[in-house]
Structure 1
Amino acid sequence: MNRFLIGAGMAAMLATGVVVPAGAQQGAPLEGRVGRLESEMRAVQRKVFPNGAGQMVEPQISPSTPTPSPVGVPASSAVADLSSRVTSLEQQMASMTGQIEMTQHKLRQLEEQFAAYRTATDAKLSAAPAASGAVPAADVAATGDVRVPTAPRPASTPTPAAAVAGVEKPNTGDAAEDAYLYGYRLWSAKKYPEAQAQLKKMVADYPKSRRASFAQNLLGRAYLDDGKPSLASIAFYDNYKKYPDGERAPDSLFYLGSALMKLNKPADACKVYGELTDVYGDKISAGMKADVAKARTAAKCK
């Protein structure tokens, strides 16, 4: 935009400050064109600066000092050059005016679209409270002259959270403890898939908690009780490897042997029972020692 304002200022300067020594009779039409340009520029200024029509953008360049024409050059060349420059200014002014009008048109369109959107939104918000207690038109069926409401739509499929709503979540103040106890309650309620998801999450969220060994071991038992001995064996083995000093590491080795027996791998089960005795023989209870002895007999371990 500055370029056009500068051009108009230069044209005005040329019209008032340039002395044409010859051919002045050809400058009269130019003066009219320059005057018209100045008028159009003021109109553009009013569009661009509606609250300050008197503002003018200062030119970024200053006019160069006119160089005297060499002796012998026809005076009409200066008039021709001025005419060319004024023509260029007219073309630029026309282009600028067209761009301003196009921008204003787009702005009006945006304003109209936003006004329509706001009206529609306000109407929906106003209608919502009134319609909350009414039967929707789509739920009304015509039967002769009597219109009766159709049967209510079926409820959506219950989410896992809704399916285990009967299992109370603990609130001891210890997040890790609560996470494990909730998984334990789900397992006790025989909601095995939900228990598996909860126990895996507990181990992932609190891997350094004392209860991580409990949760990983119980995850294996949830798989085992759910008829998934392969997944159970992985969960038990992971507990033994990740938490060898955990309180449920010996239990995981024992149940790993049980999972291997279900997978018809008695030889591997015997190795696991041997590992359990070698590593935790002096730590396991008398009851577990008796269970290990029975399991070795069932697996026909040597």
Structure 2
Amino acid sequence: MTLSLRNITAPIIPMRLAGALALAASVATFAAPSPAFAQDGEAEARIRKIEAEVRALQRKVFPGGDGRYFEPQIAPGTAAQPAIGAQPSPAEATAVTDILVRLDALETQLRTLTARSEEQANALSQMEMRLAALETATNAPLAAPMNPMATGQTASALPAPSTAAQPLASAPRPVPTQAPAPAPTVAAPSPARLAAVQAITKPQTADAGDDEYSYGFRLWNAGFYPEARQQLTRFVEQYPSHSRISFGRNLLGRAFLDDNMPDEAARWFLKNYQANKAGDRAPDSLLYLGKAMIALNDTRKACIALAEFGETYPLVATGRLADDYRVSLNQVTCN
């Protein structure tokens, strides 16, 4: 049985076609990535070019390749790091440490200079006080002994005219020469007190009466009660119609009361209250009149003054002077 050529080649042709198709497919498969490889090469070249330009730019902007100035945040092949977490280079750390040390030294010197200036200012003020005390001390013997000398002379001079005026006496008696022994004169203030009083300045404004009162108030507020009384008495006598007259009379009474002289204080309090019951310090004078009576152990008059204060000035008794009024009522027992 013979086979025809057609029958033999018929199955072979499809097999060859299939093999060729497979080979073409494999070749296409290996040839397909070639554009991708080309693109990768171009990208790599472009990246290298950009990196070179960036390095050149860094050399222009940040000169010095030893890192003395700034460390570039982006380097080839490394990811960008946040600026907060960046660690300073040793050179930067050394420079910052040097600055901090110098700042600490400057602050220390500033504190030392400030302390020295304060000490010098304190020493200067003490020197001024000592100079003022010395000046008052040198001037005090010229004025203060005048009173004892004057009183001594008058006391010693009194017996001499008496002996001359009594010719019937048998013999002059030297006993009156011992008269200066009691020395009834008031002691002169100490130099320190004079310096302290002189340190209180008197205001100088267009209102002379107000200046006199303000100066008396400053003396009273500093605790110089005799000097305050002298100054306030001058104000009351020279400016009886001044708008501060109620303040002056009341403060004069306070200067007596605070110096343990309630009798004189009561007179000024009563005078100020009776002169003008609508005055600025009339309520204060009436209340402190009660306090003066308490100091004098005169409970009846103290109760009268306190009761009249509460009835005449109810708003002040429950407002500005409420605490003083309450304390005064607790000090006495009124019917």
Higher Cα radius of gyration: 2
Please give the range of the TM-score, normalised by the shorter of the 2 chains: 0.3 to 0.5
